Amino acid sequence: MTTSPQDTAFQKALSLLRNAKHAVALTGAGSSTPSGIPDFRSAGSGLWTRFFPMEVASLSSFRYHPERFFDWLRPLASHMLKAAPNPAHISLAELEGSGFIHTIITQNIDGLHQRAGSQNVLEVHGTLNTLTCIGCYDQYPSGDFIDAYIERGDIPHCPECARILKPDAVLFEEQLPAKTWLEARQASEACDLMIVAGSSLLVMPVAGLPARAKEHGADVIVVNKSETYMNSQASAVLTGDVAEIIPSLAAELLND
């Protein structure tokens, strides 16, 4: 952990969390990499350093080359299914349960916040936990199809109309889920504190939420390994691993 509990920024973050009436968290890929899930943009290891996103993870790719899409997704889905919540997920759930955090807005599609015990989670980039038929639009839990897909590569098809089932994760060229996005915007505008945890804040429109929160009078805490555009505007910047820093903050708050 680069930032230590003795640092001024750490103490400032503690004070802001203690005094906040309506805090929200915005989490990105960096909150799940400690669980073994690869992120998308890190040099050398990020998925987009090894794949061209429009070729494998776009709506066009899914429509016209579904086999290529599902082949690309298969190892990532396997990682996510096998992953366990890390200390950052668990600590955020504890902070939510204790009233320090009201809402978690996440860019992640792995469902680890819910598995850690968080209740009020807004998945703005969708989820791998459900699938929707491209023909009749029936929705199914992924668990009904995942074993055959992970073990044999079987592409999931609708039991009713036999069309392909699309994972409910947001692809390139696809809009965010409207209701969830509206709720995320409302939460950002209503909060008096936003803690950004493990997000590079590079992917719009979600990356604009901290600025929206600040415009509406909220303080912003940034916890991330690399710099973000919000660092210069944040009330506290804690540089390091979210799986170390968030639990350290939670330990101080929950043991008061």
Which residues are the active-site residues?
A: 125
DSSP letter for each residue of the chain: --S-TTSHHHHHHHHHHHH-SSEEEEE-GGGTGGGT---SSSTTTSGGGTS-HHHHSBHHHHHH-HHHHHHHHHHHHHHHHH----HHHHHHHHHHHTTS--EEEE---S-HHHHHT--SEEETTEEEEEEEETTT--EEEGGGTHHHHHHH-PPPB-TTT-PBEEEEEPPBT-PPPHHHHHHHHHHHHH-SEEEEES----STTGGGHHHHHHHTT-EEEEEESS--TTTTT-SEEEES-HHHHHHHHHHHHHT-
